[in-house]
Structure 1
Amino acid sequence: MSLDDIWKKTVEALESKINHSVYMLLIKQIAPVSLDESTLYLKIPGTMSMSYLAEHKEEIEEAVSEILGIKIDVVAIQDESPETIDAKASRKQSAALEKPAEPPHPSRIGAAPHLNPKYTFDNFVRGSTNQIAYSAARAVAEAPGNVYNPLFFYGGVGIGKTHLMQAIGHYIASTRPNLIIAYKTTNWFIHEFTTSIRENRMHDFRNHYHKIDVLLLDDIQFIEGKEATQEEFHQIFNDFYERKKQVVLTCDRPPKDLPKIEDRIISRLSWGLVCDIQQPDFETRVSIIRNKLDIEGNYLPEDIINYIAEYIRTDIRMLEGALNRLFAYSKVSGKEINLESAERIIKDISPESKKEAVTVQKIVKIVANHYNLDAAAVLGKSRKKELALARSVAMYLAYDITKLPQSSIGNEFSGRDHSTVIYSLEKIRSEMESDPEFKKTIQYLKDRITG
């Protein structure tokens, strides 16, 4: 993959993450200069403030790191060449951007705003870990506002939450072009809200959201602890729900595990359907790799596909980053990729995948040893006080570390009901809040389990 190809993919990835005006400025004014092992050098015009790029440096680094599958730092080089007419125009645009952008009017949002063109239902690879979420997404796309409102996806990083959310937007845009769709990150929502307060434009802000028919809001967990933002979101949500306008949300946790969000909002987040998207299993990872190869028109032997799927177990973006790195190596070196070279090239992409897998059994064993108990007894049905405490701790850590559904964790503990797991989670959280020493014990056990 050439440097221009890498920058093109980076720009495409940024399209759905940053404000449209900023995105256009990045395309027209910033150019890649060179890329070494861990640093991407970008040239910016002398008329652009270095601090302006610094505001978006983290987003650029994240995007290019995902593409290449390794941590990349971005360094800006200022071009001191004479100012052209285009540069003067861009300087005016840059100056305008120093003022936080006005929340866009729905008429400027377009049919499918800020949606990644690759995030469609056709490109989504289904498997046992995401089938329910996929089916729910299709149902909402076909009847927005009438089923599963809100639709709430939760799960770890890079497992397809944003893909499914944006696939809903693409489908509705193509089948119901009269509807106004808005995809936003929660951080951008917060920025719009605070800017509107500062500039006394709350009427425009509320009017903007009132005109939207389908709101796709990514990473809702970021409103935790922000009371004013939560109050405004609560009002906007109620308005959408009463008018039967669709809301789709993503989060890294289920609603009940967001302690710094008001109870009335937590309740509303669960009104529709809450869908857990888990890490893809081996078969799904293989299908994802094959799908990516088909889209890009590339080929890899079956043994390399299986190796990548086995080696990288947690993050779809890492799978794609591994493929990008392999083909970049092949293009630069002029050599075909074989299993030996593939192992060498991607060995540092996902080092955690070579660690011992964290299972419920491993967690129970470590907790039991800490309390000088037998692991089988902790998993068993005895209600002795010392066993009950260790069992609750093990359930809490199993849920916190493995992200397994509560029902699955209950099954590991002699088939206990998920309500028992919920009780244990609440009990341990309460104890941690009231007893600092107990909280330290939980953290110590977690470090031992994951270290």
Structure 2
Amino acid sequence: MFSERTDVGCVDRQSKETTGNAEVSAVWERVRGRLRAELGDDIFSSWFARIELMSIGGGAAELSIPTKFLKSWIQAHYIDKILTRFAEESPGVTQIHLHVRSTMRAKAVDVAARPSATVIELRAGQSSIAANSDGGAAPAQTDGTQLPANPLDKKMTFDTFFVGKSNALARAAAEKVATGPGSAYNPLYVHAAVGLGKTHLIQAVAHAASSRGRRVVYLTADGFMYGFVAALKSHNALAFKERLRGIDLLVIDDVQFLQGKSIQHEFCHTLNALLDAGKQIVVASHCAASDLENLDERTRSRLGGGLVVEMESHDEELRLRILESRLAAARAAHPNFEAPPEVIQHVAHKITANGRDLEGAVNRLLAYATLSGTALTIETADIAIRDLVRSCEPKKVKIEDIQKLVATHFNVSRADILSSRRTANVVRPRQIAMYLSKTLTLRSLPEIGRRFGGRDHTTVLHAVRKVDDLLSRDGTLREEVELLKRMLLD
């Protein structure tokens, strides 16, 4: 009799567990359905298809996500929507816990005993961050009580910055900003293509201002993001904000990489607070403030409200001076190395892209002369630097050519790529074509969207980020995309 009652009890418990699991699964399916209807099939498939519900209990829904990148993206852009949909389907859910599956397997951490996931709490209909992400990178100061700061390069000062017609205005404005408070150029926004010295210039500002006793913080966009996340992690967000707003000069590099709505929101508030307090801001980017399509309009307006200066490509005279300086340093380390004046002039004339290519040219000339034992002439110099010269003359790629090649490669028509079809065999080629259009042409996101059937620029941006994520994880796709690039550029 006892064994029979025990068996019946086991059956009852199993039945209840099965029912409970079924109810949890049903809630999750309804939440997924709401998200799909609200966001559309394309966005849902890109960001939510691989999210799994682990459990619901104690007022919290435990979700597992396959990668740290996806977790960070969901946290930055969609966590509030997920929480709201859960609250609608299961009113007892007031928190969302996000976990990275690989991290969970590696650490085998009991979530209930040692919470390490991102937690969003629902209080009076609003969400607030209550704990940090366990999957992201962190800055050097992880306690959130100290200001984050990226190290300055000791060599990047005004004394080592070469001035020419292309950057004279930017240099003059930078020196004015560095000499003291009260500059009319606030914020100072410097933009230039890769290798033209914008990082050197803004670090020179930081060095000069710091030497005058001013409180200076130099950060890359990543450094700002990691510092803010670290402050949230240690529940010191308010202290982080107050300390950052207590400085005299904030220098931000590569602002185009600033991501995440909450981080951009805080960045904009920081800009406003510093500017309203008369504190100086210096920002560098690869494009004009108005072209920062990943930033919201308020932030773009603030950044463009001061002095915006473009550093253009180096003229030949400036390239010659930079090259002579680099060659002098090479001769100091290798006394037997010699480069005739006509060779130096020839190299300065041939390489027109940026200063980094000039450094590469010096390395190639040094290697060619020391390893081959051959004297440098114009002919041998051409052999040594031919890859750099070729890279300065890229083929102009047309969006139409990209669309045709991608369509042929993936066995669809160009009309399919331009259409509104959302089937998988069309969506992926379309996203890859948009990605290639962004990386291989100078067209803006809105222009690319118009060339792909009148789509919005946000659709193009989503496609670029989606393909970037896939390329980081899928070696086969990465090889396919590299092949397409070579075919388009050859």
Return the TM-score normalized by structure 2: 0.51
Asked whether the 8 Å contact 2:199–2:284 carries over to 1, the reply is yes
Shift of 1:338: 3.2
Give the letter aligned to residue 251 of structure 2. Answer: L
User: Counterpart of 1:124?
Assistant: 161
Asked whether the 8 Å contact 1:150–1:246 carries over to 2, the reply is yes
How many residues end up aligned between the 2 structures? 285
User: Counterpart of 1:153?
Assistant: 190
**What does the per-residue CA deviation read over 1:65-104, in whole Å, with 9 as the maximum and x for residues that have no partner?**
xxxxxxxxxxxxxxxxxxxxxxxxxxxxxxxx99753268
In structure 2, distance between residues paired with 1:107 and 1:205 = 7
User: Counterpart of 1:202?
Assistant: 237
Matches of residues 306-321 of structure 1 in structure 2 within 5 Å? Answer: 306-321=345-360
Give the letter aligned to residue 294 of structure 2. Answer: K
Matches of residues 83-102 of structure 1 in structure 2 within 5 Å? Answer: 101-102=140-141
User: Counterpart of 2:221?
Assistant: 186
Instruction: Select the residue among 229, 244, 258 that pairs with 1:223.
Output: 258
In structure 2, distance between residues paired with 1:402 and 1:126 = 27
Asked whether the 8 Å contact 1:183–1:216 carries over to 2, the reply is yes
In structure 2, distance between residues paired with 1:353 and 1:243 = 44
Matches of residues 100-115 of structure 1 in structure 2 within 5 Å? Answer: 101-102=140-141, 114-115=151-152
CA gap 1:436/1:172 in 2 versus in 1, 3 angstroms: closer
User: Counterpart of 2:269?
Assistant: 235
Asked whether the 8 Å contact 2:148–2:223 carries over to 1, the reply is no
Asked whether the 8 Å contact 2:314–2:352 carries over to 1, the reply is yes
Shift of 1:230: 0.6
In structure 2, distance between residues paired with 1:427 and 1:353 = 27
Matches of residues 219-298 of structure 1 in structure 2 within 5 Å? Answer: 219-224=254-259, 226-297=260-331
Gaps of 5+ in 1: 1-96, 367-396, 404-424, 441-445
Asked whether the 8 Å contact 1:159–1:316 carries over to 2, the reply is yes
Shift of 1:168: 1.0
Give the letter aligned to residue 387 of structure 2. Answer: D
**What does the per-residue CA deviation read over 1:95-140, in whole Å, with 9 as the maximum and x for residues that have no partner?**
xx9975326877997xxx7221221222212222112111111111
In structure 2, distance between residues paired with 1:437 and 1:215 = 34
In structure 1, distance between residues paired with 2:157 and 2:182 = 20
Give the letter aligned to residue 322 of structure 1. Answer: A
Asked whether the 8 Å contact 1:214–1:245 carries over to 2, the reply is yes
Matches of residues 29-108 of structure 1 in structure 2 within 5 Å? Answer: 101-102=140-141
CA gap 1:130/1:448 in 2 versus in 1, 3 angstroms: farther
Shift of 1:233: 0.3
User: Counterpart of 1:347?
Assistant: 386
Matches of residues 353-372 of structure 1 in structure 2 within 5 Å? Answer: 353-354=392-393
Shift of 1:427: 8.3
Shift of 1:430: 7.3
For the pair shown, the structure with the greater C-alpha radius of gyration is 2
In structure 1, distance between residues paired with 2:307 and 2:487 = 35
Give the letter aligned to residue 243 of structure 1. Answer: A
Return the TM-score normalized by structure 1: 0.55
Asked whether the 8 Å contact 2:394–2:489 carries over to 1, the reply is no
User: Counterpart of 1:67?
Assistant: none
User: Counterpart of 2:470?
Assistant: none
In structure 1, distance between residues paired with 2:231 and 2:456 = 44
CA gap 1:107/1:354 in 2 versus in 1, 3 angstroms: closer
Asked whether the 8 Å contact 2:139–2:148 carries over to 1, the reply is no
**What does the per-residue CA deviation read over 1:219-242, in whole Å, with 9 as the maximum and x for residues that have no partner?**
001125x21111110111112112
User: Counterpart of 1:391?
Assistant: none
User: Counterpart of 1:58?
Assistant: none
**What does the per-residue CA deviation read over 1:260-306, in whole Å, with 9 as the maximum and x for residues that have no partner?**
21111111001210111111122221121123234555552222212
Give the letter aligned to residue 383 of structure 2. Answer: R
Tell me: higher relative CO, structure 1 or 2? Use CA pairs within 8 A at least 6 residues apart: 1
Asked whether the 8 Å contact 2:147–2:240 carries over to 1, the reply is no
CA gap 1:284/1:118 in 2 versus in 1, 3 angstroms: same
CA gap 1:161/1:227 in 2 versus in 1, 3 angstroms: same
Shift of 1:201: 2.1
CA gap 1:447/1:328 in 2 versus in 1, 3 angstroms: closer
Give the letter aligned to residue 339 of structure 1. Answer: I
Shift of 1:251: 0.7
Give the letter aligned to residue 435 of structure 1. Answer: G
Asked whether the 8 Å contact 1:240–1:246 carries over to 2, the reply is yes
Give the letter aligned to residue 353 of structure 1. Answer: C
Shift of 1:312: 1.9
SS of the aligned residue for 1:349 comes to helix
Gaps of 5+ in 2: 1-135, 333-337, 402-436, 461-484
User: Counterpart of 1:300?
Assistant: 339
In structure 1, distance between residues paired with 2:180 and 2:456 = 51
Give the letter aligned to residue 162 of structure 2. Answer: V
User: Counterpart of 1:164?
Assistant: 201
User: Counterpart of 2:454?
Assistant: 435
Shift of 1:343: 2.1
Give the letter aligned to residue 285 of structure 2. Answer: C
CA gap 1:200/1:434 in 2 versus in 1, 3 angstroms: farther
Shift of 1:351: 2.1
SS of the aligned residue for 1:216 comes to strand
Asked whether the 8 Å contact 1:106–1:212 carries over to 2, the reply is no
Shift of 1:448: 11
In structure 1, distance between residues paired with 2:368 and 2:205 = 35
